[in-house]
Amino acid sequence: MIGEAVLDELRARKFAFSELHLLDDERSVGRPVTDAQDAADGGVGEGGAEEGAGAAKPLAVSDVAAFDFSRVDLAFFCGRAALSERYAEAAAAHAWVIDGSAAYRTRADVPLVAADVNPGALEAMGGRGLVALPGSASVALATVLAPLHARAALDRVEVATYQAVSGSGRSAMDELAGETVAMLSGKKARGRAFGRQIAFNVIPQVDTLEADGVSREERRLWEECRRVLGMPGLAINATAVRVPVFFGHSLAVHASFERPVSAAEAVAVLQRGTGLSVIEADSTMEFPTPATLAMAPDKVYVGRLRADLTRDRALNFWVVADNVRKCAAHNAVSVAQILVNRSQ
């Protein structure tokens, strides 16, 4: 799904290219893709790597194992970590490789970049090399925290994420749709994608649990945010929850600061932030929700911003962002544009 969204994003931005290649493993080889819109309707499979932007000429998905990456300047890896682990570093010997998987996010020698937060991490990049992208929840959280930190200096963050099933791929979305239909028809949910029913349910676990009881997603969230924000010692306490929503991660955030900051000051700061939109309490929308705003792919939305009445120098707020389009595809293409524009 992210590969398809990247194609849409490239087309929407009129990203210039001379050649476009659609790649995947042997399962998708030969599948025709006419243009980015066809891809959005179900074209390039996960794990695709693309160079360029969506032209309206027929293309077939080729085998990534047989592809010569010296032919391209830019490649997006948009799917499984196993595919990135196998091919991304070899591709990065010839091209800029922007990897959306978790394969290289913890590597100190690979920049981890959210374009709206730390584009300066790309300054050391030459004409080729590997860039890792944070997970979608990390992008959404860091995008909101960055301008607040600049204003009042973050001290601690408590966050609960309510993550859409699209974060687990197309099969999870099919599972939610199928379970919903089945249960409304009086049948039993299968519970295959998450090991239990997801329709009409909330599951307080995203990814596997580790020995200390923390899920991999929770650990990724604090490690990635610390790195993107440049705050290795920031205390982040996270709980990641899977909810029966197709697209759009939501986050309930409680942030403490070293310096005083009022709710009004925070709103003003966020309104000037990059990639952000603030929904104020007196607006007709009242607050952001996945169904109303997550499908608008170029912003992270903030609402319910208020002072924490139990602590000094603390704020509570609600965040919503499209996990596939804004936090993954939009971020990937934004990183690509920074690299390409810098080289011109």
Distance from C-alpha of 286 to C-alpha of 333, rounded to nearest angstrom: 31
Q: What pLDDT does residue 202 have?
A: 97
Q: 315 by DSSP, 3-state: which?
A: strand
Q: Looking at residues 300-323, what average pLDDT do you find?
A: 96
First to last CA, the chain: 30
Average pLDDT, the chain: 90
Distance from C-alpha of 222 to C-alpha of 293, rounded to nearest angstrom: 25
Prediction pTM value: 0.91
Question: Mind listing the pLDDT tens digit for each residue in 20-67?
Answer: 999 988 877 877 765 544 433 333 333 344 444 444 566 788 899 999
Question: Mind listing the pLDDT tens digit for each residue in 220-252?
Answer: 999 999 999 999 999 999 999 999 999 999 999
- What fold characterizes domain 2-134+327-343? Rossmann fold (3.40.50)
Question: Mind listing the pLDDT tens digit for each residue in 261-289?
Answer: 999 999 999 999 999 999 987 777 789 99
Question: Mind listing the pLDDT tens digit for each residue in 123-181?
Answer: 989 999 999 999 999 999 999 999 999 999 999 999 999 999 999 999 999 999 999 99
15-31 burial code (b ≥16 CB/10 A, e <16): bebeebbbbbbeebbeb
Residue 99, strand partner residues: 77, 132
Question: Mind listing the pLDDT tens digit for each residue in 71-125?
Answer: 999 999 998 899 999 999 999 999 999 999 999 999 999 999 999 999 999 998 9
Residue 272 CA to chain centroid, in angstroms? 22
DSSP class of residue 281 equals T
Q: Name the residue ranges covered by the structural domains of the chain.
A: 2-134+327-343, 137-323
Distance from C-alpha of 188 to C-alpha of 45, rounded to nearest angstrom: 30
Please name the amino acid found at residue 250: S
Q: What pLDDT does residue 108 have?
A: 94
Distance from C-alpha of 44 to C-alpha of 38, rounded to nearest angstrom: 9
Q: How far is CA 330 from CA 58, 152, 227, in A?
A: 24, 28, 20
Residue 265 CA to chain centroid, in angstroms? 28
* Superfamily designation of domain 137-323: Dihydrodipicolinate Reductase; domain 2 (3.30.360.10)
Do strands 154-163 and 32-33 pair parallel, antiparallel, or not at all (unpaired)?
unpaired
